């Protein structure tokens, strides 16, 4: 499992939503929503989302206990 954390630096540019729509989305209030955990198979998409984040607000911990 992956643990996903988005810091308070997030400005809701939603670039992560474009890279990993299965993991990130914008709510009706315009704020980012995410589960906080993902399957290991999502690592490539979540890493891509972290890479495109202009605020570098996304961090990932691989090997998180399920």
**pLDDT tens string 26-59:** 999 999 999 999 999 999 999 999 999 999 999 9
Pick one of 3.30.70.20, 3.90.79.10, 3.40.50.720, 3.30.40.10 as the CATH number of 2-62: 3.30.70.20
Tokens for 66, please give them: 């399920």
Residues 64 and 43: their CA atoms lie apart, in Å, by 12
- The whole-number average pLDDT for the span 7-29 is 96
Which of 22, 15, 29, 2 has its CA nearest to residue 57?
15
- The pLDDT of residue 23 is 97
pLDDT at position 62: 84
pLDDT of residue 64: 66
SS3 of residue 38 by DSSP: strand
**pLDDT at 56 (0 to 100):** 98
């Amino acid at each position: 499992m992956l643990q996903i954390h988005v810091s308070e630096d997030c400005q809701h540019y939603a670039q992560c939503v474009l890279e990993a729509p299965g993991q990130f989305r914008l709510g009706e209030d315009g704020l980012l929503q995410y589960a906080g955990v993902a399957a290991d198979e999502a690592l490539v998409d979540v890493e891509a989302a972290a890479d495109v984040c202009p605020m570098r607000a996304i961090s990932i911990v691989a090997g998180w206990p399920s």
